[in-house]
């Protein structure tokens, strides 16, 4: 009994420590996300180009997870894959400070490199987390990690806001470049904490008992319905790069000086919008993660109902209050996605082939995120009402598939 208690306690320590690693990692790349769309627009990229590259980055970042998931299951080198991916991920962000004033193509290349880093690390990282989460409750564990993630995702944009506040000299391009350079600090802390976590927990797979025999990855019906549902959700969920580009064009002049305070939403406050969304994301992750432990995939259906209308509020009005509510609903969708989606895969796929299961899930998610981001970015330039319609309808169409998956899972 004492051994069991100690083991569960160690599992939770691991979850929290790994969550703190994610906190600093998210400070780095989510800080960048808060201004990247406006930055790329400033460098000369169109809405279609931003949508295409954002989607392509997600496509590479997600589709390659299948390859690295299979590799992780085959080699069982969980830490090696995790560390290699993190290094690539956090180095690509501060490198954005080095692109020239018209270097949007170079910035796009760095975005894709950063997403490749995520592709390498994610199947291994999520699998490691699932071992400890199996001891503490899947929804709760992934929810706790997402809360810590999103604290970092909140602090990153706030850090950039502070940099903008005190470093107002220079052009808008120079101020943005300085922001990306500052993100090298949380990036370095990420790698240091990751190495400490590996030293303390060299074999996290020991948290979950070994299966009596190897169980190869098998696609079950409930998994197929689940994949179809999350793919529709990904297709309709507008990338934040397009949102922030729209805000920078509609609510503020990105070439204006940061000292202007003519409205609540201006160039200097752009990072704070993302920071607010990440706070909502953190709360939603924990709430819907706990709901998942009680209600299963139905929790994802509820979160989708709440978040789906965000596009109407963000793109369909020019009201600041509607914009803020829309971004908050976007945060609800992101939070539920991050906690429930990973928890559900853990439940549907056996330990011995779980990295492959994560790879399949994330590959499909990424393909449809790419196609959706590309289409929605093009539609933004052609017809904003059409873009809004595609976004909302696609997300709501996922709900019957979630329910069907849940029913099949409960029947087995």
Which tens digit of pLDDT belongs to each residue from 264-309?
555 556 677 877 887 888 788 788 878 877 777 778 888 899 999 9
CA–CA distance, 6 with 242 (Å, rounded to integer) = 47
Q: Is the pLDDT of residue 7 over 50?
A: no
CA–CA distance, 361 with 355 (Å, rounded to integer) = 10
Which residues have C-beta within 8 Å of that of residue 74, sequence separation ≥ 6? none
Per-residue confidence band for 326, with pLDDT thresholds at 50, 70 and 90? very high
Mean pLDDT along residues 333-338: 79
Q: Is 219 left (phi over 0), alpha (psi -120 to 50) or beta?
A: beta
The three-state secondary structure class of 412 is: coil
Q: What is the pLDDT of residue 264?
A: 52
Q: What is the pLDDT of residue 130?
A: 80
Q: What is the pLDDT of residue 412?
A: 59
Q: What is the pLDDT of residue 367?
A: 81
Q: Which residue has the higher pLDDT, 385 or 243?
A: 385
- Per-residue model confidence as pLDDT tens digits over 73-92: 788 888 999 999 999 988 98
Q: What is the pLDDT of residue 98?
A: 82
Q: Name the pTM for this structure.
A: 0.68
Which of 408, 142, 404 minimizes the C-alpha distance to 292?
142
- Per-residue model confidence as pLDDT tens digits over 342-357: 677 777 776 666 677 7
Q: What is the pLDDT of residue 11?
A: 77
- Cα distances from 394 to residues 246, 358, 379, 404, in angstroms, run 21, 23, 15, 17
């Amino acid at each position: 009994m004492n051994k069991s208690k100690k083991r569960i306690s160690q599992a939770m320590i691991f979850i929290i420590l790994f969550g703190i690693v994610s906190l600093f990692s998210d400070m780095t790349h989510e800080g960048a996300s808060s201004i990247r769309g406006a930055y790329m627009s400033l460098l000369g990229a169109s809405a279609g180009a931003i949508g295409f590259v954002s989607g392509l980055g997600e496509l590479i970042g997600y589709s390659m997870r299948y390859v690295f998931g299979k590799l992780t299951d085959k080699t069982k080198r969980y830490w090696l894959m995790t560390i290699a991916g993190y290094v690539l991920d956090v180095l690509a962000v501060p490198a954005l400070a080095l692109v020239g004033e018209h270097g949007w193509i170079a910035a796009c290349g760095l975005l894709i490199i950063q997403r490749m880093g995520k592709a390498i690390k994610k199947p291994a990282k999520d699998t490691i987390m699932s071992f400890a989460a199996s001891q503490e409750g899947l929804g709760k564990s992934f929810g706790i990690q997402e809360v810590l993630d999103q604290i970092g995702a909140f602090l990153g944009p706030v850090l950039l806001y502070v940099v903008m506040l005190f470093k107002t000299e220079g052009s808008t391009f120079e101020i943005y470049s300085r922001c990306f350079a500052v993100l090298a600090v949380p990036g370095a802390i990420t790698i240091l904490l990751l190495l400490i976590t590996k030293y303390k927990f060299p074999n996290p797979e020991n948290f979950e008992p070994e299966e009596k025999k190897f169980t190869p990855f098998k696609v079950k019906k409930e998994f197929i319905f689940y994949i179809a549902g999350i793919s529709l959700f990904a297709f309709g969920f507008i990338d934040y790069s397009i949102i922030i580009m729209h805000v920078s064009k509609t609510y503020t002049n990105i070439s204006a000086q940061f000292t202007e305070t003519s409205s609540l939403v201006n160039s200097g406050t752009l990072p704070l919008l993302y920071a607010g969304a990440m706070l909502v994301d953190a709360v939603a992750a924990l709430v819907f993660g706990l709901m998942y432990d009680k209600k299963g995939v139905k929790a994802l259906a509820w979160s989708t109902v709440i978040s789906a209308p965000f596009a109407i509020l963000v793109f369909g009005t020019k009201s600041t209050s509607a914009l803020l509510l829309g971004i908050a609903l976007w945060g609800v969708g992101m939070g539920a996605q991050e906690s429930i989606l990973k928890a559900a895969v853990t439940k549907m796929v056996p330990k011995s082939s779980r990295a492959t299961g994560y790879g399949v899930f994330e590959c499909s998610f990424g393909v449809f995120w790419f196609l959706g981001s590309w289409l929605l970015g093009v539609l933004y330039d052609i017809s904003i009402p059409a873009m809004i319609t595609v976004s909302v309808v696609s997300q709501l169409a996922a709900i019957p598939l979630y329910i069907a998956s849940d029913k099949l899972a409960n029947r087995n």
